[in-house]
Every structure is written in structure tokens, then in C-alpha cells.
Structure 1
Amino acid sequence: MSDKFTTIEEQASYGVGRQLGEQLAANSFEGINISAVQLGLSDAFDGIESQVAMQDLQVAFTEISQRIQKVQEAAAEAASAEGETFLAENAKRDGVQTLESGLQYEVITEGSGDKPGLDSTVRTHYHGTFINGDVFDSSVIRDQPAEFPVSGVIAGWTEALQLMPVGTKWKLYVPHHLAYGERGAGASIPPYSALVFEVELLDIL
């Protein structure tokens, strides 16, 4: 650890800068100039007149926003196409069932208990991955079953759970429109992502 910042004020000041930097890194753009960012921060804090005219700032912000939007749209189109291709090929495999909604499932274990309804609350174990196999969430890894209302989850889950007797374990292949759609879910699930879940229905509460 650095001994450059020895006082409480210096350490807190560095912490403020770290937080701003982390926020900026999470919402950055190609070509960003950190030196210019630092100068803008310093000028604003010291009450110095902007070195870039407001009209020019607005033009620059608009241009960068449009660039970011184009990049996001291209990534979304690629993800959507990749998901559609994956699901089309997956549907051809033996044992994969495709419902009218587009949801696909594969039976791993068939239970014999009751089926939950839309108003039910259930306890499940699940393991969620992207179509490339990367894990984004897993109660199995946490070794802690999850409880939630059937109506309070993504549409693909809501549909599947009502078809699953207690004790059943299915592998779900969920199109983006039955998952988190065009918005995704925070930083963990990009827009237009098709998702794969192994879901075990443990109990109806």
C-alpha cells in the first residue's frame, strides 16, 4: 500500500477520486482523455471558467452519445442473432421440447409432486449460464436454495414452473424475450441475452 496519503483528509480525498474513477470506468467511451477529465474536475472545483464553450460541450456530448448508442445497438443485434441461432440448433436435439412461447426445456429428473400455480411461492435450486457456458448466477454454487413467487420471476421461469411437479429438474433454454429482454439486467446480463438454467423445484411453500 502507498504511504503517499497519510492524513485523513488526503485519504478521504483519494477515496472520492477513486469512486469517481470507478463510476467513470463503468460508463466510459472510446478515446476518453483522463488528463482532460482531471482538468475539468479541477476547474469546476476552483470555479474557473470552462475552457470549452458550452455549445461545443453539447455538440461533443451528443456525438459521443450517438457513438455509444451505435456500439450498443450493434452488440445487441449480435447477441440477438447469436441467441436465435443457438436456440434454432438446440431445438433439433433429441430430448429438447419447444413450447409455443419459444421456451425450450429438457427433462433431467421428472418429479411426482404437485405443480405450483401462478400465485404460489416456491423453493428451488438453479444454475444459470449464458449460452457460452459462463455462469452468471447459481444457488447451487452458493449452496443456498432460493425462494420466490412464481409470478415474480422472468417469464420463462414463470411458464416452466407451472408445468413442473415438485421434485422435477429441467434444463431451460430461455429466449431473450422470455428473460431480460432488450434491457438486460444491470451489468451482469447484457441486452438480448438468451439464457440457460438448470432448475430443480424443491417445494411449494
Structure 2
Amino acid sequence: MKKINTLTISALASAMLLVTGCSTNNGNQESAVKSVSVTEQSSATEKVGYSLGYMMAEGNKDAVQDLDLDMFEQGFRDGYEGNDSALTQEQMEEVLMTYQKEQEEKFVQDMQNKAEENKAAGEAFLAKNAKKEGVQVTDSGLQYKVIEAGTGKSPKATDIVEVNYEGKLIDGTVFDSSYERGEPIEFPLNQVIAGWTEGLQLMKEGGKYEFYIPADIAYGEAGNAGIEPNSTLIFTVELLSVK
């Protein structure tokens, strides 16, 4: 899942200042070049100019997704070459502040819509999943299925456990996996999401379970990096050891 970029207009402004501050332009810069070809054989000045421009745009493209590139170039050139601004400083600051406020409000509304959609989808998934063979449901709403029972000891909430796991969204998207990293992880069981704290205490060492975790005992309305608000999660977990 794509992580949401929270860069603001101020970051774009800072990057523009960086370009200006690092430049040693002598005022002989050619006007509006429509296309360029930069290679390893280009001059240092050409490569510096291209690199700063590319990095500035790439790092801030999510902050201003509807940027008018023609107007950006005109404003950049006017400021860089010392021409009079078409807008006053106060007007420009007000424009940027208003734009940023509108984007923040849109972001909040989008997250609220996502939260409602994910909650409904999660509830529908869990209701259907609970009827499947082998799926058990606890009082908290946690659902689990025993793949391998295990024969060792069960952890307490205060124990440290070593596990291998894969985490998925209900659409099958894998968002985290110790298998992909090639090594298990260790953590205190009482310092993870509530669904894990509860679920792993049902397991024994050597066991392998699949957990279906409602949002309210996962990451809830806040979500997490790569996980939208109110997402129901699916984890396959192997309990390797209790320490």
C-alpha cells in the first residue's frame, strides 16, 4: 500500500531556496529551454542544475500534485533572475497558506472516507470468515484458525517471543513479512497490537496460526504506515520460541 506523503508547501519553498543559495549564476542563463539532454559527459554546471531540479521535483511532487509547471518555471525564473514579481510577497504567502489548508482538509476528508469504507469492508469480511470451517472467534472479535497446534509452552503477555509472520490486508496485499526479510523477529508480547497480544497467548511453541484481526484491536482509526485507517488485518504467525 502506498504510503501517504505529508510534505508541505514549505518544503517546496525550502528546496527553491536551496537552488538559489547554491547557484553561482552570472546572469547569462539562456531563457526557457524546452528540452535538455544530460549525460555523464555534460558539464558540471549542467549536471548540478539538472540534479537539483530533478530532486526538488521528485521530493515534492506529492505536496503539489496539480502543479502548473509552466507557471512554476516562470515564477522560478523571475525570482532567480531578479525580475519583479507578478504578486506581492503577502499575496504569495496567502496563496500558499490557503492552498496548504485546502489540501490538509482534503486529506482529512479522504481519510475519513477511507475509514468508513474499510470499516464496512472489514465487518463484511469477518462476518463471512467466521462461518468458515476451523475458524474460531474470541470475545474481543479476534478470529483465528489453527494450522499447526504446536507442542511447546504458551507465552504470557509479559514474555518475549520469537516469531515468523506474514501480514496481509483483506484484499490479499502483503504489507509486512519476516519471511521476505529472511529472518524471524523478537519482541515483548505486550508491546504490539492487541490482536497479537491476545492471539499469540493462544499458541504453543512450534504452532502456526492464522489470525483475522478487526481494526479495533489492530491499528484502529489511526492506521499505520502502509495501513489505512480501520483496516482489518490477516496474519499468518509461527511461534518459534518463548523467552
Tell me which interval the TM-score lies in, with the shorter structure as reference length.
0.7 to 0.9
In the alignment, structure 2 segments of 5+ residues that lack a partner are 1-36
Provide the rounded CA distance (Å) in 1 between the counterparts of 2:156 and 2:81: 61
Provide the rounded CA distance (Å) in 1 between the counterparts of 2:79 and 2:137: 58
Match of 2:57 in 1: 21
Residues 106-135 of structure 1 deviation map (CA, whole Å, 9 limit, x = unaligned): 111101211112221111111111111111
Residues 151-190 of structure 1 deviation map (CA, whole Å, 9 limit, x = unaligned): 222221111112211111110011122222222222x222
Provide the rounded CA distance (Å) in 1 between the counterparts of 2:156 and 2:48: 52
Provide the rounded CA distance (Å) in 2 between the counterparts of 1:34 and 1:180: 38
Which one of 133, 143, 147 corresponds to residue 94 of structure 1? 133
Provide the rounded CA distance (Å) in 1 between the counterparts of 2:109 and 2:77: 31
Whether 1:204 and 2:239 are equivalent positions in the alignment is: no
User: Looking at CA atoms only, which structure, 1 or 2, has the larger radius of gyration?
Assistant: 2
Match of 2:7 in 1: none
Instruction: Write the mapping of 1:33-182 to structure 2, written as runs, cut at 5 A.
Output: 33-41=68-76, 49=85, 51=87, 53=91, 54-182=93-221
The percent identity for this pair of structures is: 38
Give, in angstroms, the shift of residue 94 of structure 1: 2.0
Provide the rounded CA distance (Å) in 2 between the counterparts of 1:85 and 1:114: 35
Match of 1:32 in 2: 67
RMSD: 2.6
Provide the rounded CA distance (Å) in 2 between the counterparts of 1:14 and 1:41: 14
Which aligned segments of 4 or more residues in structure 1 are displaced greater than 6 angstroms? Answer: none
Give, in angstroms, the shift of residue 9 of structure 1: 4.8
C-alpha spacing 1:182/1:82, structure 2 compared with 1 (3 Å): same
Give, in angstroms, the shift of residue 199 of structure 1: 0.2
Match of 2:231 in 1: 193
Provide the rounded CA distance (Å) in 1 between the counterparts of 2:216 and 2:49: 45
Residues 37-87 of structure 1 deviation map (CA, whole Å, 9 limit, x = unaligned): 445555566676473613344333323332332223212211221111111
C-alpha spacing 1:64/1:184, structure 2 compared with 1 (3 Å): same
Provide the rounded CA distance (Å) in 1 between the counterparts of 2:80 and 2:157: 54
In the alignment, structure 1 segments of 5+ residues that lack a partner are none
- Could you tell me whether the CA contact under 8 Å between 2:38 and 2:47 is conserved in 1? no
What code does the residue aligned with 2:114 have? A
Give, in angstroms, the shift of residue 28 of structure 1: 4.3
SS at match of 1:35: helix
